[in-house]
A = this chain, B = another copy of it.
Amino acid sequence: MGKGPWLDADEQTAWRSYLLMNKTLTTHLERHLQREFGMSSSDFEILVNLSESESGRMRAFELGRATQWEKSRMSHHLSRMEKRGLIRKEACDSRYPEIVITEEGLAAIRACAPVHAARVREFFVDVLGKDRLIALGEASDEIVDAIGNHCESDCPPEVSGLC
């Protein structure tokens, strides 16, 4: 294993199957979320994090840590979501504002989350079956670790996402 930079035919095939599956699945999920609920997967990600957070309020950088987004993407996106009434920014410590989910945002996530979950079940969880699903979850963790370890050994003083 690892006899050069190139991939052999089997490896190519598997890798490209994975890429196609990924594109097909995310496109499918995003399109439905968009058409049925007018919500992007980015909106969804933010609302899930807020709604799972007990108080329904988080600092922007906590959301950034949870989602791995760049801070400027976060800022832009939160502004848009505020304009659409899904969240609100509240000043509290006379400095950095807290992000609060609104009633409207809560209603939106409650409406679409079960439908979304059902689709994940139908096309991912149930197609794989329990054993393969668990195995894929573990394999995924290994890959994340491999990239993480590589980065911290490669560029010590950097923040994790950079390299």
**Interface set of A (CB-CB < 8 Å, partner B):** 1-2, 5-7, 10-11, 13-15, 17-18, 20-25, 27-28, 31, 68, 114-115, 117-118, 120-130, 132-144, 146-148, 150, 161-163
Contact = CB atoms under 8 A, between A and B. Distances in A.
Contacts of A13: 137
A142 B136 CA distance: 14
Nearest to A120: B15
A133 B11 contact: yes
Contacts of A147: 24-25, 28, 123
21 contacts: A1-B126, A1-B129, A5-B121, A7-B121, A10-B134, A11-B121, A14-B136, A14-B137, A15-B120, A15-B124, A18-B124, A21-B143, A22-B22, A22-B140, A24-B68, A28-B147, A122-B146, A122-B150, A123-B150, A124-B143, A128-B139
B130 A1 contact: yes
Contact of A144 (B1, B21, B146, B148): B21
A28 to B, nearest CB: 5
A123 B146 CA distance: 6
Contacts of A133: 10-11, 14-15
